[in-house]
Amino acid sequence: MAEKQLWSGRFAEGPSEATLSFTSSLSVDTRLAWYDIAGSLAHAIMLGETGIIGKDESEVLAKGLKQLLTDLESGELDFSTELEDVHTNVEHILTQRVGEAGKRLHTARSRNDQVSTDFRMFVRDAVLEIVTLLLEVQNVLIARAEKETGTIMPGFTHLQHAQPVSLGFHLLAHVFRLQRDAERFLDAYKRLNQCPLGAGALAGTGHPVDRELTSALLGFDRPTDNAMDTVSDRDFALEFAYDCAQAMVHLSSMGEELVLWTSPEFRFAEMPDAFATGSSIMPQKKNPDVAELVRGRSSLAIGNLMQLLTVMKGLPLSYNRDLQEDKGSVFSSYETLSTCLFMIGPMYRDLDFNRERMAQACADGFLNATDLADHLVRRGMPFRQAHEVVGAAVQHCVKKGKRLESLTVKELKGFSELLDKESLEYISLDACLRRRTSAGGTAPERVEEQLVSAKAIMGSHRAECEGEVARLYEVWEDLRK
Ligand code: ARG
Protein backbone atom coordinates (compact mmCIF):
# COMPACT_ATOMS: atom_id res chain seq x y z
CA MET A 1 0.00 0.00 0.00
CA ALA A 2 1.30 3.45 -0.91
CA GLU A 3 2.54 5.47 2.10
CA LYS A 4 0.75 8.71 2.86
CA GLN A 5 2.79 11.90 2.37
CA LEU A 6 3.29 14.36 5.22
CA TRP A 7 1.33 16.94 3.29
CA SER A 8 -1.47 14.78 1.86
CA GLY A 9 -4.34 16.84 3.35
CA ARG A 10 -4.17 19.55 0.70
CA PHE A 11 -4.41 17.09 -2.18
CA ALA A 12 -7.28 15.14 -3.64
CA GLU A 13 -4.85 12.65 -5.12
CA GLY A 14 -1.33 11.55 -4.27
CA PRO A 15 1.67 12.44 -6.43
CA SER A 16 2.32 10.31 -9.50
CA GLU A 17 4.92 7.58 -9.26
CA ALA A 18 7.15 9.64 -11.53
CA THR A 19 6.83 12.78 -9.39
CA LEU A 20 7.53 10.84 -6.27
CA SER A 21 10.63 9.29 -7.67
CA PHE A 22 11.77 12.56 -9.27
CA THR A 23 11.44 14.58 -6.09
CA SER A 24 12.78 11.96 -3.69
CA SER A 25 16.08 12.63 -1.94
CA LEU A 26 16.12 9.48 0.15
CA SER A 27 18.95 7.82 -1.76
CA VAL A 28 21.20 10.76 -0.86
CA ASP A 29 19.94 11.96 2.51
CA THR A 30 19.67 8.52 4.13
CA ARG A 31 23.17 9.37 5.21
CA LEU A 32 21.73 12.03 7.54
CA ALA A 33 19.52 9.54 9.40
CA TRP A 34 21.50 9.54 12.63
CA TYR A 35 21.57 13.33 12.77
CA ASP A 36 17.90 13.53 11.92
CA ILE A 37 16.94 11.28 14.81
CA ALA A 38 19.27 13.08 17.23
CA GLY A 39 17.90 16.46 16.10
CA SER A 40 14.35 15.18 16.54
CA LEU A 41 15.22 13.94 20.01
CA ALA A 42 16.47 17.38 21.07
CA HIS A 43 13.38 18.98 19.54
CA ALA A 44 11.05 16.54 21.33
CA ILE A 45 12.75 17.24 24.68
CA MET A 46 12.42 20.98 24.11
CA LEU A 47 8.73 20.64 23.20
CA GLY A 48 8.15 18.93 26.55
CA GLU A 49 10.27 21.35 28.59
CA THR A 50 8.47 24.38 27.20
CA GLY A 51 5.03 22.84 27.61
CA ILE A 52 4.35 23.06 23.87
CA ILE A 53 3.39 19.38 24.15
CA GLY A 54 2.70 17.36 27.27
CA LYS A 55 5.62 16.06 29.34
CA ASP A 56 4.31 12.51 28.94
CA GLU A 57 4.13 12.83 25.18
CA SER A 58 7.59 14.30 25.04
CA GLU A 59 8.85 11.33 27.04
CA VAL A 60 7.17 8.86 24.71
CA LEU A 61 8.76 10.61 21.74
CA ALA A 62 12.18 10.72 23.39
CA LYS A 63 12.05 7.04 24.29
CA GLY A 64 10.99 6.11 20.76
CA LEU A 65 13.70 8.26 19.19
CA LYS A 66 16.41 6.81 21.42
CA GLN A 67 15.32 3.36 20.31
CA LEU A 68 15.47 4.51 16.68
CA LEU A 69 19.08 5.61 17.21
CA THR A 70 19.95 2.21 18.64
CA ASP A 71 18.18 0.39 15.82
CA LEU A 72 19.86 2.53 13.20
CA GLU A 73 23.25 1.81 14.73
CA SER A 74 22.62 -1.92 14.65
CA GLY A 75 21.39 -1.73 11.05
CA GLU A 76 17.80 -2.58 11.91
CA LEU A 77 16.08 0.46 10.50
CA ASP A 78 14.57 0.23 7.02
CA PHE A 79 13.37 3.26 5.15
CA SER A 80 10.52 3.29 2.67
CA THR A 81 11.31 4.64 -0.80
CA GLU A 82 7.69 5.74 -1.06
CA LEU A 83 8.40 8.54 1.38
CA GLU A 84 10.30 11.45 -0.06
CA ASP A 85 13.24 11.79 2.25
CA VAL A 86 14.94 10.66 5.41
CA HIS A 87 13.12 13.20 7.57
CA THR A 88 9.72 11.93 6.46
CA ASN A 89 10.84 8.36 7.06
CA VAL A 90 12.05 9.00 10.59
CA GLU A 91 8.83 10.72 11.57
CA HIS A 92 6.78 8.02 9.89
CA ILE A 93 8.55 5.11 11.56
CA LEU A 94 8.41 6.84 14.93
CA THR A 95 4.68 7.44 14.61
CA GLN A 96 4.10 3.82 13.60
CA ARG A 97 5.95 2.73 16.70
CA VAL A 98 4.74 5.17 19.37
CA GLY A 99 1.29 6.02 17.99
CA GLU A 100 -0.51 9.36 18.56
CA ALA A 101 2.43 11.12 20.27
CA GLY A 102 4.43 10.74 17.03
CA LYS A 103 2.01 13.13 15.35
CA ARG A 104 3.15 15.90 17.71
CA LEU A 105 6.88 15.70 16.87
CA HIS A 106 6.73 18.16 14.00
CA THR A 107 5.10 20.90 16.10
CA ALA A 108 7.03 24.18 15.74
CA ARG A 109 9.39 22.65 13.21
CA SER A 110 9.68 22.65 9.45
CA ARG A 111 11.77 20.39 7.30
CA ASN A 112 13.54 23.58 6.29
CA ASP A 113 15.14 24.19 9.67
CA GLN A 114 15.38 20.44 10.21
CA VAL A 115 17.37 19.76 7.01
CA SER A 116 19.83 22.52 7.78
CA THR A 117 20.30 21.26 11.34
CA ASP A 118 21.00 17.70 10.20
CA PHE A 119 23.32 18.83 7.47
CA ARG A 120 25.30 21.11 9.77
CA MET A 121 25.78 18.26 12.22
CA PHE A 122 27.07 16.07 9.41
CA VAL A 123 29.51 18.72 8.18
CA ARG A 124 30.63 19.32 11.76
CA ASP A 125 31.67 15.68 12.16
CA ALA A 126 33.19 15.64 8.69
CA VAL A 127 35.37 18.64 9.56
CA LEU A 128 36.66 16.97 12.72
CA GLU A 129 37.43 13.75 10.88
CA ILE A 130 39.20 15.53 8.06
CA VAL A 131 41.31 17.65 10.39
CA THR A 132 42.33 14.46 12.20
CA LEU A 133 43.35 12.88 8.89
CA LEU A 134 45.19 16.04 7.82
CA LEU A 135 47.16 15.91 11.06
CA GLU A 136 48.11 12.28 10.41
CA VAL A 137 49.49 13.12 6.99
CA GLN A 138 51.40 16.08 8.45
CA ASN A 139 52.85 13.78 11.08
CA VAL A 140 54.20 11.43 8.44
CA LEU A 141 55.74 14.30 6.48
CA ILE A 142 57.27 15.80 9.62
CA ALA A 143 58.79 12.47 10.68
CA ARG A 144 60.39 12.10 7.25
CA ALA A 145 61.47 15.75 7.03
CA GLU A 146 63.26 15.55 10.38
CA LYS A 147 65.66 12.98 8.96
CA GLU A 148 66.31 14.85 5.73
CA THR A 149 67.33 18.36 6.78
CA GLY A 150 70.82 17.74 5.37
CA THR A 151 69.74 15.82 2.25
CA ILE A 152 70.52 17.98 -0.73
CA MET A 153 68.35 18.01 -3.82
CA PRO A 154 67.58 20.42 -6.64
CA GLY A 155 64.89 22.96 -5.89
CA PHE A 156 62.77 23.71 -8.95
CA THR A 157 61.00 26.65 -10.48
CA HIS A 158 59.23 26.11 -13.82
CA LEU A 159 60.26 22.47 -13.22
CA GLN A 160 63.80 23.63 -14.10
CA HIS A 161 66.70 23.40 -11.69
CA ALA A 162 66.78 26.56 -9.61
CA GLN A 163 68.69 26.47 -6.31
CA PRO A 164 69.75 23.65 -3.97
CA VAL A 165 67.36 22.82 -1.14
CA SER A 166 67.11 20.06 1.41
CA LEU A 167 64.58 17.28 1.07
CA GLY A 168 63.42 18.08 4.60
CA PHE A 169 62.71 21.66 3.58
CA HIS A 170 60.78 20.46 0.53
CA LEU A 171 58.65 18.05 2.56
CA LEU A 172 57.92 20.78 5.09
CA ALA A 173 56.50 22.95 2.32
CA HIS A 174 53.74 20.35 2.00
CA VAL A 175 53.20 20.37 5.75
CA PHE A 176 52.55 24.10 5.83
CA ARG A 177 50.08 23.82 2.97
CA LEU A 178 48.14 21.14 4.83
CA GLN A 179 48.33 23.21 7.96
CA ARG A 180 46.48 26.04 6.28
CA ASP A 181 43.91 23.50 5.13
CA ALA A 182 43.36 22.33 8.69
CA GLU A 183 43.07 25.92 9.82
CA ARG A 184 40.49 26.67 7.13
CA PHE A 185 38.35 23.70 8.20
CA LEU A 186 38.54 24.67 11.86
CA ASP A 187 37.66 28.23 10.99
CA ALA A 188 34.64 27.12 8.96
CA TYR A 189 33.60 25.03 11.95
CA LYS A 190 33.14 28.15 14.07
CA ARG A 191 30.67 29.64 11.61
CA LEU A 192 28.78 26.44 10.95
CA ASN A 193 28.24 25.41 14.55
CA GLN A 194 25.00 27.34 15.04
CA CYS A 195 21.63 25.72 15.46
CA PRO A 196 18.87 26.34 12.86
CA LEU A 197 16.09 24.63 14.86
CA GLY A 198 13.30 27.07 15.66
CA ALA A 199 13.72 28.98 12.40
CA GLY A 200 10.70 27.00 11.18
CA ALA A 201 9.75 27.23 7.53
CA LEU A 202 11.22 30.73 7.12
CA ALA A 203 9.75 33.16 9.64
CA GLY A 204 10.19 31.56 13.04
CA THR A 205 7.25 30.13 14.97
CA GLY A 206 4.46 31.35 17.20
CA HIS A 207 5.02 28.50 19.64
CA PRO A 208 7.10 29.42 22.70
CA VAL A 209 10.16 27.39 21.59
CA ASP A 210 13.41 27.45 23.54
CA ARG A 211 16.02 27.70 20.81
CA GLU A 212 18.85 27.95 23.33
CA LEU A 213 17.84 24.58 24.73
CA THR A 214 17.79 22.66 21.42
CA SER A 215 21.03 24.35 20.43
CA ALA A 216 22.71 23.26 23.66
CA LEU A 217 21.27 19.74 23.54
CA LEU A 218 22.84 19.27 20.09
CA GLY A 219 26.21 20.77 21.00
CA PHE A 220 25.85 23.90 18.90
CA ASP A 221 27.46 27.12 20.11
CA ARG A 222 24.19 29.05 19.80
CA PRO A 223 21.03 29.36 17.70
CA THR A 224 21.26 31.13 14.33
CA ASP A 225 20.15 34.77 14.17
CA ASN A 226 17.66 35.30 11.37
CA ALA A 227 15.14 32.61 10.48
CA MET A 228 14.87 33.57 6.84
CA ASP A 229 18.63 33.56 6.39
CA THR A 230 18.83 30.29 8.27
CA VAL A 231 16.63 28.25 5.96
CA SER A 232 18.24 29.78 2.86
CA ASP A 233 21.84 29.54 4.01
CA ARG A 234 24.23 26.92 2.67
CA ASP A 235 27.39 28.93 3.26
CA PHE A 236 28.58 26.24 5.65
CA ALA A 237 28.29 23.62 2.88
CA LEU A 238 30.01 25.90 0.39
CA GLU A 239 32.85 26.66 2.76
CA PHE A 240 33.28 22.98 3.42
CA ALA A 241 33.24 22.22 -0.30
CA TYR A 242 35.80 24.95 -0.91
CA ASP A 243 38.03 23.74 1.89
CA CYS A 244 37.86 20.20 0.47
CA ALA A 245 38.66 21.45 -3.04
CA GLN A 246 41.59 23.50 -1.75
CA ALA A 247 42.98 20.57 0.22
CA MET A 248 42.50 18.27 -2.78
CA VAL A 249 44.45 20.72 -4.94
CA HIS A 250 47.29 20.38 -2.44
CA LEU A 251 47.06 16.59 -2.44
CA SER A 252 46.90 16.61 -6.23
CA SER A 253 50.12 18.58 -6.34
CA MET A 254 51.70 16.00 -4.03
CA GLY A 255 50.38 13.20 -6.24
CA GLU A 256 51.83 14.86 -9.32
CA GLU A 257 55.15 15.23 -7.56
CA LEU A 258 55.23 11.54 -6.69
CA VAL A 259 54.40 10.61 -10.28
CA LEU A 260 57.39 12.70 -11.39
CA TRP A 261 59.75 11.60 -8.66
CA THR A 262 59.13 7.89 -9.19
CA SER A 263 59.58 8.17 -12.98
CA PRO A 264 62.80 6.82 -14.51
CA GLU A 265 63.66 10.35 -15.61
CA PHE A 266 63.72 11.63 -12.03
CA ARG A 267 64.31 8.49 -9.93
CA PHE A 268 64.14 10.64 -6.75
CA ALA A 269 62.03 7.99 -5.06
CA GLU A 270 60.85 4.42 -5.42
CA MET A 271 57.13 3.83 -4.97
CA PRO A 272 56.41 1.12 -2.41
CA ASP A 273 54.89 -1.92 -4.16
CA ALA A 274 51.82 -1.65 -1.97
CA PHE A 275 50.88 1.66 -3.63
CA ALA A 276 51.59 0.68 -7.23
CA THR A 277 49.83 -1.44 -9.80
CA GLY A 278 50.96 -3.27 -12.92
CA SER A 279 49.96 -3.35 -16.57
CA SER A 280 47.74 -5.94 -18.22
CA ILE A 281 50.05 -6.12 -21.23
CA MET A 282 53.49 -4.75 -20.27
CA PRO A 283 55.04 -7.14 -17.78
CA GLN A 284 57.73 -4.70 -16.64
CA LYS A 285 55.35 -1.95 -15.51
CA LYS A 286 55.00 -0.55 -12.04
CA ASN A 287 52.64 2.38 -12.19
CA PRO A 288 52.03 5.03 -9.50
CA ASP A 289 48.24 4.69 -9.78
CA VAL A 290 47.41 5.79 -6.26
CA ALA A 291 49.28 9.05 -6.76
CA GLU A 292 47.65 9.50 -10.16
CA LEU A 293 44.17 8.89 -8.76
CA VAL A 294 44.71 11.39 -5.96
CA ARG A 295 45.60 13.89 -8.69
CA GLY A 296 42.61 12.78 -10.78
CA ARG A 297 40.07 12.88 -7.97
CA SER A 298 40.83 16.48 -7.15
CA SER A 299 38.63 17.14 -10.19
CA LEU A 300 35.65 15.79 -8.25
CA ALA A 301 36.19 18.15 -5.34
CA ILE A 302 36.58 21.10 -7.68
CA GLY A 303 33.48 20.09 -9.66
CA ASN A 304 31.48 19.64 -6.48
CA LEU A 305 32.25 23.17 -5.37
CA MET A 306 31.15 24.51 -8.76
CA GLN A 307 27.94 22.48 -8.60
CA LEU A 308 27.02 23.86 -5.24
CA LEU A 309 27.87 27.45 -6.11
CA THR A 310 25.72 27.08 -9.21
CA VAL A 311 22.74 25.76 -7.23
CA MET A 312 22.95 28.76 -4.93
CA LYS A 313 23.63 31.59 -7.32
CA GLY A 314 20.14 32.43 -8.54
CA LEU A 315 17.97 31.50 -5.60
CA PRO A 316 15.68 34.08 -4.06
CA LEU A 317 15.22 33.93 -0.30
CA SER A 318 14.27 31.68 1.38
CA TYR A 319 13.86 27.89 1.06
CA ASN A 320 13.66 26.64 -2.51
CA ARG A 321 13.54 23.00 -3.45
CA ASP A 322 16.77 23.45 -5.42
CA LEU A 323 18.41 23.38 -1.99
CA GLN A 324 17.78 19.66 -1.88
CA GLU A 325 20.61 19.39 -4.43
CA ASP A 326 23.09 20.56 -1.79
CA LYS A 327 24.11 17.27 -0.21
CA GLY A 328 25.46 14.97 -2.91
CA SER A 329 28.41 17.23 -3.65
CA VAL A 330 29.28 17.70 -0.02
CA PHE A 331 29.18 13.96 0.63
CA SER A 332 31.28 13.34 -2.47
CA SER A 333 33.88 15.96 -1.50
CA TYR A 334 34.07 14.56 2.00
CA GLU A 335 34.58 11.01 0.69
CA THR A 336 37.09 12.08 -1.91
CA LEU A 337 39.23 14.05 0.49
CA SER A 338 39.07 11.60 3.37
CA THR A 339 39.98 8.58 1.22
CA CYS A 340 42.83 10.47 -0.46
CA LEU A 341 44.20 11.58 2.91
CA PHE A 342 43.90 8.01 4.11
CA MET A 343 46.06 6.82 1.19
CA ILE A 344 48.61 9.58 0.85
CA GLY A 345 49.98 9.47 4.41
CA PRO A 346 51.10 5.82 4.34
CA MET A 347 52.37 6.29 0.77
CA TYR A 348 54.75 9.04 1.93
CA ARG A 349 55.63 7.02 5.01
CA ASP A 350 56.83 4.06 2.94
CA LEU A 351 58.34 5.98 0.05
CA ASP A 352 61.96 5.07 -0.58
CA PHE A 353 63.91 8.29 -1.24
CA ASN A 354 66.93 7.98 -3.52
CA ARG A 355 69.29 10.45 -1.85
CA GLU A 356 72.20 9.56 -4.09
CA ARG A 357 70.19 10.30 -7.18
CA MET A 358 68.97 13.60 -5.72
CA ALA A 359 72.59 14.61 -5.02
CA GLN A 360 73.64 13.57 -8.53
CA ALA A 361 70.82 15.61 -10.03
CA CYS A 362 72.29 18.68 -8.32
CA ALA A 363 75.27 18.48 -10.70
CA ASP A 364 73.09 19.71 -13.54
CA GLY A 365 71.38 23.01 -14.07
CA PHE A 366 73.76 25.48 -12.39
CA LEU A 367 71.99 25.48 -9.04
CA ASN A 368 74.77 27.68 -7.63
CA ALA A 369 74.56 30.44 -10.25
CA THR A 370 72.66 32.78 -7.91
CA ASP A 371 75.30 32.22 -5.25
CA LEU A 372 78.10 33.11 -7.64
CA ALA A 373 76.29 36.36 -8.41
CA ASP A 374 75.76 36.97 -4.67
CA HIS A 375 79.47 36.35 -4.18
CA LEU A 376 80.29 39.12 -6.66
CA VAL A 377 77.82 41.38 -4.88
CA ARG A 378 79.65 40.76 -1.61
CA ARG A 379 82.79 41.83 -3.37
CA GLY A 380 81.20 45.09 -4.38
CA MET A 381 79.59 44.50 -7.76
CA PRO A 382 75.99 45.71 -8.27
CA PHE A 383 73.65 42.71 -8.47
CA ARG A 384 72.33 43.49 -11.97
CA GLN A 385 75.90 43.50 -13.29
CA ALA A 386 76.76 40.32 -11.36
CA HIS A 387 73.72 38.64 -12.93
CA GLU A 388 75.11 39.46 -16.42
CA VAL A 389 78.60 38.25 -15.54
CA VAL A 390 77.37 34.92 -14.18
CA GLY A 391 74.98 34.54 -17.10
CA ALA A 392 77.97 34.79 -19.44
CA ALA A 393 79.87 32.25 -17.31
CA VAL A 394 76.91 29.85 -17.53
CA GLN A 395 76.77 30.30 -21.31
CA HIS A 396 80.46 29.46 -21.45
CA CYS A 397 79.92 26.36 -19.29
CA VAL A 398 77.03 25.19 -21.48
CA LYS A 399 79.29 25.40 -24.54
CA LYS A 400 82.19 23.63 -22.82
CA GLY A 401 80.04 21.05 -21.02
CA LYS A 402 81.34 22.28 -17.65
CA ARG A 403 79.87 23.16 -14.26
CA LEU A 404 80.49 26.54 -12.64
CA GLU A 405 82.48 24.95 -9.82
CA SER A 406 84.75 23.18 -12.29
CA LEU A 407 85.88 26.38 -14.00
CA THR A 408 89.57 27.21 -13.57
CA VAL A 409 90.60 30.39 -11.77
CA LYS A 410 91.87 31.64 -15.09
CA GLU A 411 88.50 31.09 -16.71
CA LEU A 412 86.81 32.83 -13.77
CA LYS A 413 89.09 35.83 -14.05
CA GLY A 414 88.03 36.11 -17.67
CA PHE A 415 84.52 36.90 -16.44
CA SER A 416 85.47 39.17 -13.55
CA GLU A 417 88.66 40.16 -11.80
CA LEU A 418 86.75 39.93 -8.53
CA LEU A 419 86.60 36.12 -8.83
CA ASP A 420 89.31 33.83 -7.46
CA LYS A 421 89.89 30.41 -5.88
CA GLU A 422 87.74 31.29 -2.88
CA SER A 423 84.84 31.89 -5.22
CA LEU A 424 84.85 28.20 -6.05
CA GLU A 425 84.51 27.25 -2.38
CA TYR A 426 81.76 29.81 -2.03
CA ILE A 427 79.66 28.04 -4.65
CA SER A 428 79.96 24.46 -3.42
CA LEU A 429 76.38 23.17 -3.33
CA ASP A 430 76.59 22.37 0.34
CA ALA A 431 77.71 25.92 1.12
CA CYS A 432 74.87 27.28 -1.02
CA LEU A 433 72.34 25.26 0.99
CA ARG A 434 73.78 26.17 4.39
CA ARG A 435 74.00 29.83 3.51
CA ARG A 436 70.24 30.26 3.07
CA THR A 437 69.73 31.22 6.67
CA SER A 438 67.07 33.86 6.19
CA ALA A 439 63.96 33.10 8.25
CA GLY A 440 61.99 30.41 6.42
CA GLY A 441 65.04 29.42 4.35
CA THR A 442 66.43 26.00 3.51
CA ALA A 443 69.54 26.12 5.79
CA PRO A 444 69.35 23.20 8.24
CA GLU A 445 69.01 25.41 11.34
CA ARG A 446 66.15 27.32 9.72
CA VAL A 447 64.44 24.07 8.78
CA GLU A 448 64.80 22.99 12.42
CA GLU A 449 62.92 26.14 13.41
CA GLN A 450 60.22 25.41 10.85
CA LEU A 451 59.86 21.92 12.28
CA VAL A 452 59.34 23.42 15.72
CA SER A 453 56.74 25.90 14.57
CA ALA A 454 54.95 23.33 12.40
CA LYS A 455 54.68 21.02 15.39
CA ALA A 456 53.38 23.82 17.59
CA ILE A 457 50.61 24.68 15.12
CA MET A 458 49.77 20.99 14.72
CA GLY A 459 49.59 20.68 18.49
CA SER A 460 47.08 23.49 18.72
CA HIS A 461 44.99 22.09 15.85
CA ARG A 462 45.05 18.67 17.49
CA ALA A 463 43.99 20.09 20.85
CA GLU A 464 41.17 22.05 19.25
CA CYS A 465 39.98 19.05 17.29
CA GLU A 466 40.26 16.51 20.10
CA GLY A 467 38.60 18.91 22.52
CA GLU A 468 35.66 19.25 20.19
CA VAL A 469 35.40 15.49 19.57
CA ALA A 470 35.37 14.85 23.33
CA ARG A 471 32.82 17.60 23.91
CA LEU A 472 30.48 16.20 21.25
CA TYR A 473 30.90 12.72 22.67
CA GLU A 474 29.54 14.04 25.95
CA VAL A 475 26.79 15.93 24.19
CA TRP A 476 25.54 12.67 22.63
CA GLU A 477 25.89 10.77 25.89
CA ASP A 478 23.82 13.39 27.71
CA LEU A 479 21.21 13.52 24.97
CA ARG A 480 20.70 9.76 25.05
CA LYS A 481 20.62 9.39 28.84
N1 ARG B 1 14.34 16.61 1.16
C2 ARG B 1 14.17 18.02 1.24
C3 ARG B 1 15.54 18.73 1.28
O4 ARG B 1 16.52 18.07 1.43
C5 ARG B 1 13.37 18.34 2.41
C6 ARG B 1 12.85 19.72 2.47
C7 ARG B 1 11.57 19.87 1.83
N8 ARG B 1 11.03 21.13 2.25
C9 ARG B 1 9.99 21.66 1.67
N10 ARG B 1 9.65 22.84 2.09
N11 ARG B 1 9.36 21.03 0.68
O12 ARG B 1 15.65 19.93 1.10
Ligand 1 atom closest to the Cα of residue 319 is: 10
Cα(403)–Cα(320) distance, integer angstroms: 67
Measured in Å, residue 320 CA sits from the centre of ligand 1 at: 8
Domain that holds residue 416: 369-427
Report CA-CA distances (Å) from 219 to 98, 124, 476. Answer: 27, 10, 8
340 domain-assigned:
yes
CATH number at residue 386: 1.10.40.30
Indicate if 375 and 227 belong to the same structural domain: no
**What pLDDT digit, counting tens, does each position of 190-228 carry?**
999 999 999 999 999 999 999 999 999 999 999 999 999
Q: For position 13, what pLDDT does the model report?
A: 85
Confidence of residue 15 (pLDDT cuts 50, 70, 90): confident
Measured in Å, residue 308 CA sits from the centre of ligand 1 at: 16
**Mean pLDDT of all residues belonging to the chain:** 96
Indicate if 322 and 460 belong to the same structural domain: yes
Measured in Å, residue 449 CA sits from the centre of ligand 1 at: 52
Does the structure show a pLDDT above 60 at 239? Answer: yes
Does the structure show a pLDDT above 90 at 1? Answer: no
Which of 10, 19, 24, 85 maximizes ligand 1 atoms within 8 Å of its Cβ, making it the mutation to test the pocket? 85
Indicate if 230 and 375 belong to the same structural domain: no
Does the structure show a pLDDT above 80 at 274? Answer: yes
Q: For position 4, what pLDDT does the model report?
A: 75
**What pLDDT digit, counting tens, does each position of 317-347 carry?**
999 999 999 999 999 999 999 999 999 999 9
Taking residues 305-313, what's their average pLDDT? 98
Indicate if 233 and 123 belong to the same structural domain: yes
Name the packing angle between helices 33-49 and 111-146 (round to 10°): 130
Taking residues 22-41, what's their average pLDDT? 97
Cα(310)–Cα(258) distance, integer angstroms: 33
441 domain-assigned:
no
Q: For position 242, what pLDDT does the model report?
A: 98
Taking residues 444-450, what's their average pLDDT? 98
Q: For position 9, what pLDDT does the model report?
A: 84
Q: For position 158, what pLDDT does the model report?
A: 98
Q: Which residue, judged by its Cα, is nearest atom 7 of ligand 1?
A: 111
Indicate if 177 and 70 belong to the same structural domain: no
Q: For position 2, what pLDDT does the model report?
A: 63
Does the structure show a pLDDT above 80 at 412? Answer: yes
pTM metric for this prediction: 0.96
Does the structure show a pLDDT above 60 at 378? Answer: yes
Measured in Å, residue 115 CA sits from the centre of ligand 1 at: 7
pLDDT above 90 covers what percent of the chain? 95
396 is catalytic: no
Of 72, 15, 9, 20, nearest to 41 by C-alpha is 72
Indicate if 127 and 95 belong to the same structural domain: no
**Ligand 1 pocket at CB < 6 A:** 25, 29, 85, 111-112, 115, 319, 321, 323-324
**Which of 16, 74, 158, 438 is flagged as catalytic?**
158
170 is catalytic: no
Q: Write down which residue in 58, 87, 107 finishes a domain.
A: 107
Q: Which residues pair with 157 in a beta bridge?
A: 160
**Which of 8, 27, 279, 406 is flagged as catalytic?**
279
Q: For position 34, what pLDDT does the model report?
A: 98
Q: How many structural domains comprise the chain?
A: 3
Does the structure show a pLDDT above 60 at 109? Answer: yes
CATH number at residue 91: 1.10.275.10
